[in-house]
Structure formats: structure tokens, C-alpha cells
Amino acid sequence: MEAKEFDQTLLGLLLAIIGFLLLWIPDIDILGGILVLVGALLIFLGRRGFGERHRRSVGAGVALILIGLVGTFVAAVIYAISIVAAAVMPGVTIAQIGAQISSDFTFLEAATATLGILTVIGEILLVYQLADRRARQILWAGLVAQIATSVVVIVIVLPAVSSAISQATSTGTLNLAPITALETKAQLVELVGAVPAVLLAWGYYRTRKAIIHRDEPSAQNPPSPA
């Protein structure tokens, strides 16, 4: 194993750990996402130093993460275009715009929730071949937590948002009070969303520690000459 690949992987894991812990904090969650992406890139660059299985797993993980990111961006663009198109349509009422926003928001959140699950699977695959049994259990628990978060969004948040938008636009004038009242539910989702992020950070931490101590499973499967 080359020292460069070893160091890239360790640094990538460290940045991802910090990023996961920042992801659920309002206002700096974007920084957390950037750190996770940079960490994933470094893990990808150092993948050849840990064997063929790890290299393939990292490749699959990066592919899923890219699908999640690109898919989320495309869904957001479609949502924005749909809302703008509805708003500039001649003769459209506020109530009709509200109905369009509600319908499109349901699509956006459902797509985001699904893509978020794919992204977490990708993040697990980035380190799965290096993780010990305990770390793998923690990572799978992170995936379960992410699925639970998606269920909370779809079952609790989406109906509440649709109802709030309907109430805000049903009188023909925009009333922001029902939307403002959603703040409590938004805080609940942020709290639930912290669970998978912390679990992933924990799994990555254990994996990084194992690599430092040369205790990773891939030690039994030395890198193929390339």
C-alpha cells in the first residue's frame, strides 16, 4: 500500500466524519455536505491501496452518491420550473398556485427522500470493505434511521405542508400563518435527521481507527498488483 493512498483515505474519512456531524445543523449543513463530498473524493482517490473488493465497493458507492446528488438537483429544477410556469399562467388564482405548489412539493420531497436513501447506501459502500463487524452494524443502523426519516417526512411532514399551503391560499390572499406554524414539525424532522448522520459518523470513525491500527478486514485480502 502506498503512503499517499493510505493518507488520502484517512483524510477522506476524517472530513466525512466532520461533515456528517454538521449535516443536521441549520445554516452550516451546506458546509457539512461539502466536507462529505470532499471526503468521498479522497476515499475514491485512495481506493487502490486496500484491495480489489474495496475498490469495487467504492466505485459503486460513488456512483450511488452521484445519482443521489444529480437526481436531487434535477428534481429541484423541475419543481422550480413548474412553480414559475404556474405563477405566470394568465388568469391563475392564488388558490390554484397553492394547489400546484402543494402537488409539486409532494413530488420533490418524495424524490428527495428516495434519493437520500440511495446516497446513504453509497456512503456505506465507500467504507464497507474496510469496516469491522461492529462498524458495519452501525452503518446499517444509519441506513435504517435514514429510511425512518424518509417515512417521517412522507407520513407526517408532507400532509402537514399540503394542508398549510391550502389554508394559506384558500381565501384568495396569501396568509403565511399556517406555513409559519409548521416550524415545530420542521424541527422534528431536523432532530430525526440527526440520527442517521451521527450513526454514519460513528461507523466512519470506527473504520478510520481500524485502518490506523492496521486492523481492517482488507488486511486478509491484500491489494492485487496493478
Q: What is the pLDDT of residues 70-105, one digit of tens each?
A: 999 998 898 888 878 777 777 766 767 777 777 777
Is 113 among the domain residues? yes
Tell me: the pLDDT tens digits for 110-161?
Answer: 888 889 999 999 999 999 999 999 999 999 999 999 998 888 777 777 777 7
Q: SS3 of 222, please?
A: coil
Domain span at residue 75 reads 3-220
Is 31 among the domain residues? yes
Q: SS3 of 117, please?
A: helix
* 220: nearest Cα among 109, 125, 110, 130: 130
Domain count, the chain: 1
* 185: nearest Cα among 214, 216, 206, 162: 162
Burial letters for 49-78: b for 16+ Cβ neighbours within 10 Å, e otherwise? bbbbbbbebbeebbebbeebbebbeebeee
- What are the DSSP calls for 46-71, one per residue? TGGGG-HHHHHHHHHHHHHHHHHHHH
Is 24 among the domain residues? yes
Whether pLDDT at 23 is above 50: yes
pTM confidence score: 0.80
Is 159 among the domain residues? yes
Q: How far apart are CA 190 and CA 221, in angstroms?
A: 40
Is 225 among the domain residues? no
Is 226 among the domain residues? no
Decide: 130 and 209 in contact? Cβ < 8 Å. no
Q: What is the pLDDT of residue 203?
A: 96
* 185: nearest Cα among 149, 145, 146, 156: 156
Q: What is the pLDDT of residue 40?
A: 94
Q: How far apart are CA 207 and CA 146, in angstroms?
A: 20
